[in-house]
Chain A
């Protein structure tokens, strides 16, 4: 049995269902991301694990023990809130020491572990500072140290990086990942940022409207999205309507083999970076470049085709880039596209 198991977890607020029949198993030491758009129930799920929201139904089991029977104060989980929720009237060191004090750790041991935790997050010199005199990134690290110092069985992170600017966020992502690797704490990260989820986690659980759409390693979720929602949420994608004739999807003059038993009308999904410009061959879709935008390491194209507008991303590898207005032929490998019946489109 997995370390943490959520089974059939549901939370209703009056008529509104915030989390619906959610089941999830997390292994010890795993880094799992709960990814989904705003309002999809991520925080509610985390709050149910933490014990601050009582589930309407369902169970939570931690190491084989019923977690719902345990009071929030006794669950021994480390939580980092989106707003950090540091104690403003205490210094960084006092913030970190609080949990140890509650555990009854004696004074010398306490100060040793506080120093250790602050050094782990690179804040050794800031022990005596008050939170309001620290930057967002520093506060975030204090919050992390405060959660980690009690050696929690699980670390719960609710959008911990969303208040930081882009550059700092990237740095903190790398740092967070390293710290988690070193400490080895089972971690659940809530985020609405797909690149953050992919950069940090071992597995991603993509949520939409209170349900989990797919749980998979980042690479797999990206390459083989289980639903159109996942495909769209994890980065840009192109969705093209196509007719199926004798086992082949027709796109312009191009033909791509589709799985046997496909309905006559299908949706073909293909990522922009998988599309190339072809010189010839059967698997190609004719179009005309509408816009071409230079983005440093890659070019971003919008191409008009008979099946609608297609986004294409090409590495800036030195090859000649088609100009705006130029006629092109788009091609991609069969294994890079996914095909699903047109009716299931949401």
Chain B
């Protein structure tokens, strides 16, 4: 840490301030007793947290987002594992093209994706359904899931698998007992990034979601178009609090570093 020069220190400090400041402001504003966006000057109030309870559509949208994020990231990951192993291992024709195809959603603006999906889903009759949301989110999060899975699959020493084979392990056993445990850190971070990307997505989802299948960001986006009260800040603060709690729980149970950086790296 002491290797940081004064300039680097200033840079890091500014970086942290710029990243955290908006979050802090939102969290503080959430405790205002007033009916408009303002800092709570006469002591904190839970008025706007209580108000959330009167808007069940926010609660529903929250659960829609959680489900959507979970389902789409898990499916994207299930696609990524075999794809990443094939791309990392075998030199087949169309390998580059396949990688490019999986990565292409990164290069298309989400507005364009939103409009395209809206038309497509309406035509095949799944417009505004949860299924449509899941399908579109799989496409959007796939590059993230694949990138990180691919990184750990490429970095894996093939000799370790060969050692297992020479000891008599079948291909299925090698996958289950050796390959998957070794690429687990990549899978975990790929899943987390996919989930967050899905949970965060609003530009595309706003076109696809319908009343009843609105995600939380979409609900908030629509709400601030018509209202100026601080309800969205208390909703945001709640989501932030939930995230922090989830991270702490995961760290207690698995050890975050171990999960994201690599198994056993903590015991060195």
> Which residues of A are in contact with B by a Cβ distance under 8 Å?
50, 52, 72-79, 81, 83, 85-89, 98-99, 102-103, 130, 132-133, 146-147, 150
User: How far apart are the CA atoms of A86 and B178 in the complex, in Å?
Assistant: 10
Q: Using Cβ atoms and an 8 Å threshold, which residues of chain B touch A78?
A: 166
Q: Which listed residue (B169, B263, B264) contacts A102, Cβ 8 A?
A: B169
Contact, CB under 8 Å: B263 / A79: no
Chain A residues with CB under 8 A of B167: 98-99, 102, 146, 150
How far does the alpha carbon of A77 sit from the alpha carbon of B178 in the complex, in Å? 19
Which single residue of chain B is at the shortest CB-CB distance from A102? Answer: B168
Contact yes or no, B264 A132, CB < 8 A: yes
Q: With the chains together, A73 CA to B170 CA distance in Å? A: 7
Complex-state Cα separation, A250 to B147, whole angstroms: 71
A52 near B162 with CB under 8 A, answer: yes
* A79: nearest chain-B partner, CB-CB: B166
Cβ-defined contact, B164 with A87, below 8 A: yes
Cross-chain pair count, CB within 8 angstroms: 66
Q: List 9 A-B contacts (CB under 8 A).
A: A72-B162, A79-B166, A85-B163, A87-B164, A89-B181, A98-B167, A102-B169, A132-B264, A146-B163
What is the minimal beta-carbon distance from A97 to any residue of chain B, in angstroms? 10
B interface, over-half SS? helix
Are A89 and B168 in contact, with the CB atoms below 8 A? no
Indicate which residue in A73, A83, A85, A87 contacts B168 across the interface (CB closer than 8 Å). A73
Q: Which residues of A contact B169 (CB under 8 A)?
A: 73, 98, 102
User: Chain B residue with minimal CB distance to A74?
Assistant: B168
Q: Which of B160, B167, B177 has the most CB of A within 10 A?
A: B167
Instruction: Give B contacts to A, CB under 8 Å.
Output: 157, 159-160, 162-170, 173, 177-178, 181-182, 263-264, 267-268
State whether A88 touches B168 (Cβ < 8 A). no
B residues within 8 A CB of A76?
A: 168
Closest CB-CB distance, B260 to chain A, in whole Å?
A: 16
Q: A85-B157, A89-B182, A102-B173 are in contact. List 13 more A-B contacts (CB 8 A).
A: A73-B168, A73-B169, A73-B170, A75-B166, A79-B163, A85-B159, A87-B178, A88-B263, A89-B181, A99-B167, A130-B267, A147-B166, A150-B167
Among candidates A50, A77, A85, A133, residue contacting B160 with C-beta atoms closer than 8 Å = A85
Give the complex CA separation of A52 and B173 in angstroms.
Answer: 17
Closest-CB distance, A53 to chain B (whole angstroms): 10
Q: Which 8 A-B pairs have the closest CB atoms?
A: A99-B167, A102-B168, A85-B159, A85-B163, A85-B160, A79-B166, A81-B159, A89-B181
Which residues on B sit within 8 Å (CB–CB) of A73?
Answer: 165-166, 168-170
Nearest CB of chain B from residue A131's CB, rounded to whole Å: 9
Contact A88 B162, CB 8 Å, known A73-B168, A74-B168, A98-B169: no
Closest B-chain residue to A100, C-beta based? B167
How far apart sit A103 and B167, CA to CA, in the bound complex (Å)?
A: 8
Residues of B contacting A74 in the complex (Cβ-Cβ under 8 angstroms):
168
CB distance from B88 to the nearest CB of A (A): 17
Residues of B contacting A77 in the complex (Cβ-Cβ under 8 angstroms)? 166
- Cα A180 to Cα B159 in complex, Å, equals 23
Minimal Cβ-Cβ distance residue in B for A75: B166
CA distance A103 to B159 in the complex (A): 20
- In angstroms, Cα B267 to Cα A89, docked, is 12
Chain A residue at minimal CB-CB distance from B170: A73
Q: Within the complex, what minimum Cβ distance (angstroms) separates B154 from chain A?
A: 16
Chain B residues with Cβ below 8 Å from A133 are: 267-268
Residues of chain B with a CB closer than 8 A to A103's CB: 168
Chain A residues in 8 Å Cβ range of B157: 83, 85
Residue of A50, A77, A85, A146 ringed by the most chain B CB atoms within 10 A: A85
B166, B177, B264 interface centre (most CB from chain A within 10 Å) = B166
Instruction: Give Cα distance in the complex from A67 to B263, angstroms.
Output: 37
Q: Which residues of chain A have C-beta atoms less than 8 A from B162's C-beta? A: 50, 52, 72, 79, 81, 85
A98-B268 Cα distance, complex, nearest whole Å: 24
Collect the chain A residues with CB atoms within 8 Å of residue B163's CB. Answer: 79, 81, 85-87, 146
On whether the beta carbons of B164 and A98 are closer than 8 Å, the reply is yes
Interface residue from B166, B170, B177, B264 paired with A88 (Cβ < 8 Å):
B264
Q: Considering the chains assembled together, what is the distance between the CA atoms of A187 and B157 in angstroms?
A: 24
Q: Whole-angstrom distance between the alpha carbons of A130 and B258 in the complex? A: 15
Taking the closest CB of chain B, its distance from the CB of A181, in whole angstroms, is 23
Known interface pairs A83-B157, A83-B159, A132-B268. Does A89 touch B165 (Cβ–Cβ under 8 Å)? no
Complex contacts, B263 vs chain A, CB 8 Å: 88-89
